[in-house]
Amino acid sequence: MLIIENLSKTFNMGTEYELNIFNNFNLQIKEGECTGILGANGCGKSTLFNIISGALTHEKGTITLKGKNINNLKENERARYIGRVHQNPSAGVSPSLTILENISLSDKKCEKFTLRKLIRKNKIEEYKEILKTLDLGLEDKLNTEVKYLSGGQRQSLSLLMATMKKPDLLLLDEHTAALDPKTSKLVMEKTLELIKTQKITTMMISHNVRDAVKYSDRIVMLDRGEIILDVRKGEITEKEILSIYNRRNYGSLREAV
Ligand SMILES: Nc1ncnc2c1ncn2[C@@H]1O[C@H](COP(=O)(O)OP(=O)(O)O)[C@@H](O)[C@H]1O
Ligand SMILES: [Mg+2]
């Protein structure tokens, strides 16, 4: 489904701030699965997503999505195939636009249109039905500007918008990290419901090991741009993963896993 081959990425190449993140990195993601991506802060998780989505370029390597080499596609061209939800609840939505305008924008993703023609009246009932699946009453607030929604409501809306065109790949980057525990659980459950009913191939970076173990079909753990753990659901417990995080000596960790 997604194949990353021999990926190399260095920030600030040739300067004193040069930082090699990936060096011949390889990863394959299976269709329809939710793969949890774990790893310490700064190990390259978001960089990987930025490279996959086209927000960052890389020096070497091939990214193939559904059999198609997407290396030369720009970020906005990849957006047709790749949905993304960020940690910041404002990143995936336009806060000063209404719910209806936001949804209409996602619906017209990658189409050419004028803002005046953004809203298609004959689509409103369809949007209301989609919004109802969130159970947040947003279908009755179509004309409310998104800035008045709570963080959980915004993330749920972002999720809906990222998946409404059924992307080939969904990238979730700590999308519940900014939410309180109760809202985070609600958004996670909504996430799982959405991706499982639509069978959306998902990569989910998570700060929360328990969520990753509970909701992912597979767990991949990175350390300094390398995969140090790659297991199926049920093959590892939350406690075992936490003990890996807590081990200081990552060198011996690589041998132990
Ligand atoms: N655009 C950038 N320019 C320079 N360095 C960056 C950039 N983006 C990320 N980095 C650095 O790369 C490393 C990995 O960052 P990131 O992928 O965001 O880590 P995380 O695993 O926490 O998501 C960090 O040291 C970060 O400072
Ligand atoms: Mg990150």
Cα separations in angstroms, 42 against 45, 69, 242: 7, 27, 17
Q: What is the pTM of this model?
A: 0.91
pLDDT at 233 exceeding the cut of 50: yes
pLDDT at 256 exceeding the cut of 50: no
Instruction: Give the fold, CATH level 3, of 2-256.
Output: Rossmann fold (3.40.50)
Question: In a mutational test of the pocket of ligand 1, which residue from 9, 16, 19 has the highest number of ligand atoms less than 8 Å from its CB?
Answer: 19
Calculate mean pLDDT across residues 107-114.
71
Neighbours of 150 (CB within 10 A): 13
What distance in angstroms lies between residue 38's CA and the mean position of ligand 1's atoms?
15
Separation of alpha carbons 252 and 242, rounded Å: 16
pLDDT tens across 114-127, in order? 666 777 888 999 99
Q: Of all residues in the chain, what percent carry a pLDDT higher than 70? A: 93
Question: How many Cα neighbours within 13 Å face the side chain of 245?
Answer: 15
Q: Of all residues in the chain, what percent carry a pLDDT higher than 90? A: 79
Closest CA to ligand 1's atom 19: 42
pLDDT bin (cut points 50, 70, 90) of residue 189 is: very high
pLDDT at 141: 96
User: Could you say which ligand is closest to the alpha carbon of residue 39?
Assistant: 1
Cα separations in angstroms, 238 against 178, 209, 230: 21, 6, 14
Calculate mean pLDDT across residues 161-189.
93
pLDDT at 143 exceeding the cut of 70: yes
pLDDT at 207: 86
| Ligand 1 pocket at CB < 6 A | 11-12, 19, 21, 39, 41-47
What distance in angstroms lies between residue 124's CA and the mean position of ligand 2's atoms?
35
Residue 83 phi, psi (nearest 5): -100, 150
pLDDT at 248 exceeding the cut of 70: no
Calculate mean pLDDT across residues 38-55.
95
User: Could you say which ligand is closest to the alpha carbon of residue 42?
Assistant: 1
User: What angle separates helix 124-132 from helix 99-107, to the nearest 10 degrees?
Assistant: 100
pLDDT at 112: 66
What distance in angstroms lies between residue 162's CA and the mean position of ligand 1's atoms?
23
Cα separations in angstroms, 117 against 25, 88, 108, 120, 128: 44, 29, 10, 7, 19
Domain definitions of the chain by residue range: 2-256
Q: Please state, rounded to an integer, the average pLDDT across all residues of the chain.
A: 91
Question: In a mutational test of the pocket of ligand 1, which residue from 13, 46, 47 has the highest number of ligand atoms less than 8 Å from its CB?
Answer: 47
**Among the atoms of ligand 1, which is closest to the Cα of residue 12?**
4
- Residue 73 CA to its chain's centroid (Å): 19
